[in-house]
Amino acid sequence: MISDQDSDELIIRSVQRGDTELFRLIVERFENSIFSMGMRFFYNYEDSLDFTQEVFLKAFDRIHQYREIAPFKFWLIRLAYNLGINIKKRSRVDQEFDESYIFYEGAGPERNHFDSEIRDLILHEINQLPERYRICLDFYFFFGFKYSEISGITGYPVNTIKSDVLRAKNILRQRLKGTIAEGYNEV
């Protein structure tokens, strides 16, 4: 009996064998990550919801292509990344980033306002980076992937990714100098 405690790969094997109802466990595990990726691509809530749904539909349709060469998570993220890139190429419409879906709990209104200003400033500057730098930075900081994992997803060489992350951080430090986000410790 498969449960939500089982590995992604075990669940996927069961789905591939015909127990398609179990795919809901995969959706539940990864919907927030895929939605976050959608927000980084499309900058608005509705498009990110549509993107999330489309990623899972494509993953379900292509589930028999997954061969366990890499962890399922990377197969899914790569599929989502490629879909996001293709949609962006088709639309080429840049929109403002809408983070109204983020709520801060347990902090006072002053702290929330201050954190919100810093977040908005940093995200604005990240969105101004060249796309390749932004993608590498997103995967490294927002998704917590290792350089080798980013390489597997994007196809960029590991050393290029390391350089892009370093360059992006240096650019951000320069752009944030003299602002309220200057001392932000992640940059």
DSSP annotation string for 17-85: TT-GGGHHHHHHHHHHHHHHHHHHHH-SHHHHHHHHHHHHHHHHHTGGG--SSS-HHHHHHHHHHHHHH
* Domain-embedded: residue 169: yes
28 with 58, same domain: the answer is yes
Domain boundary at 102, 126, 142, which? 102
Mean pLDDT taken over the chain: 83
DSSP 137-158: HIIIIIS---HHHHHHHH---H
Sign of CA dihedral 72, 74, 78, 80: positive
121 with 166, same domain: the answer is yes
* Domain-embedded: residue 69: yes
Compare 92 and 182 and report the one with higher pLDDT.
182
Q: Has residue 115 got a pLDDT over 80?
A: no
pLDDT score for 141: 82
Give the chain's domain count.
2
11 with 51, same domain: the answer is yes
Domain boundary at 72, 102, 132, which? 102
- pLDDT tens per residue, range 165-175: 999 989 988 98
Task: Give the structural domain span for 55.
Answer: 1-102
119 with 59, same domain: the answer is no
Q: Has residue 99 got a pLDDT over 90?
A: no
Compare 19 and 153 and report the one with higher pLDDT.
19
122 with 159, same domain: the answer is yes
CATH number at residue 98: 1.10.1740.10
CATH number at residue 168: 1.10.10.10
Query: Mean pLDDT across the stretch 15-39?
Result: 94
Distance separating alpha carbons of residues 19 and 79, to the nearest angstrom? 22
Q: In the structure, what pLDDT confidence band is assigned to residue 94 with cuts at 50, 70 and 90?
A: very low
Domain boundary at 102, 121, 148, which? 102
Q: Quick one: which of 187, 166, 62 has its CA closest to 118? A: 187
Q: Which segment of 84-93, 119-128, 130-139 scores lowest on mean pLDDT?
A: 84-93
* Domain-embedded: residue 120: yes
Report helix, strand or coil for 94: coil
Look up the pTM and report it.
Answer: 0.66
Q: Has residue 114 got a pLDDT over 70?
A: no
